[in-house]
Amino acid sequence: MSNFTEEQSQTATEQAKERVQDATQQVKTETRQQFRSQINDRSTQVGEQAVAASQAVRRASDQLRNEGNERAAGMIDAVADRGERLGAYLRNSDGDQIVCDVEAFARRKPWLMVSASAVAGFLASRFVKASSRERYRRSGGYPSTRGSSSQQQRGRSGPSVQAGYALPVGTGGTGQ
């Protein structure tokens, strides 16, 4: 009788395990589809913006050409051409094609991809830091400048804060 109960328990456990695996697979599939859909939508938007920006650059080039600055106009035309090609690529490519192209580029030039990723990460961190500082300042929790922070703190008991370091009250930031 105990063998029968153990077999039922194992069967129930296996069925539960299969249901969890099926649900996990379904969530993965839905997430991939949503990711591809987002890439499609965003790449189309960015492509349209790139084409619009390229057209504005081309108008600036035409103005330079009308003013007699042919050399600068030619260089700006080259930038506009590349922007229009990028915009057309982004607008016409689907998410799978873009991902495949990025993967192929990363395989051909891995160090360039690593360097570009590092630069993008650094820029993203600076952006997040700057935006969080501004949000914190707007909420009233951050003084407008660091110098005023130490001046505000001197009148209170406790350490004075200057440039991120705690100093004894009354030192004026000189460490004396």
Q: Let me know: does 46 contact 98? Beta carbons within 8 Å.
A: no
pLDDT of residue 33: 86
Taking Cα atoms as reference points, which of 46, 40, 30 lies closest to residue 96?
40
Q: Is the dihedral of CA 86, 91, 97, 102 positive or negative?
A: positive
pLDDT digit string (tens) for 41-84? 888 999 999 999 999 999 999 999 999 999 999 999 999 999 99
- Of residues 47 and 11, more confidence is placed in 47
Is 101 within the bounds of a domain? no
Q: Are residues 1 and 87 in the same domain?
A: yes
Q: Are residues 123 and 74 in the same domain?
A: no
If asked whether residues 80 and 17 sit together in one domain, one would say yes
What does the pLDDT average to over 5-15?
A: 79
Chain centroid to Cα 149, Å, comes to: 31
Given a cut of 60, is residue 90 above it in pLDDT?
yes
Give, in degrees to the nearest 5, the angle at Cα 161 between 159 and 130.
150
Each residue of 127-158: pLDDT tens digit? 888 888 777 777 776 555 554 444 444 444 44
Whether 70 maps to a domain, the answer reads yes
pTM of the model: 0.52
Q: What is the mean pLDDT of residues 28-53?
A: 89
SS3 131: helix
Percent of residues, the chain, with pLDDT higher than 90:
41
Q: How far apart are CA 53 and CA 16, in angstroms?
A: 55
Residue 171: inside a domain: no
The residues, any chain, with a CB within 8 Å of residue 44's CB and separated by 6 or more, are 90, 91
Hunting for tokens 């390229």 — which residue is that? 54
Residues 1 and 76 in one domain: yes
Q: How many domains does the chain fold into?
A: 2
User: Pick from 167, 131, 126, 128: which is nearest to 146 by CA?
Assistant: 167
**Claim to verify: residue 65 and residue 14 sit in the same structural domain:** yes
Which residue range is the domain that position 53 belongs to? 1-94
**What integer pLDDT is reported at residue 157 of this predicted model?**
47
Domain boundary among 62, 94, 126: 94
CA distances from 82 to 12, 45, 57, 77 (A): 61, 17, 11, 9
7 and 67 co-located in one domain:
yes
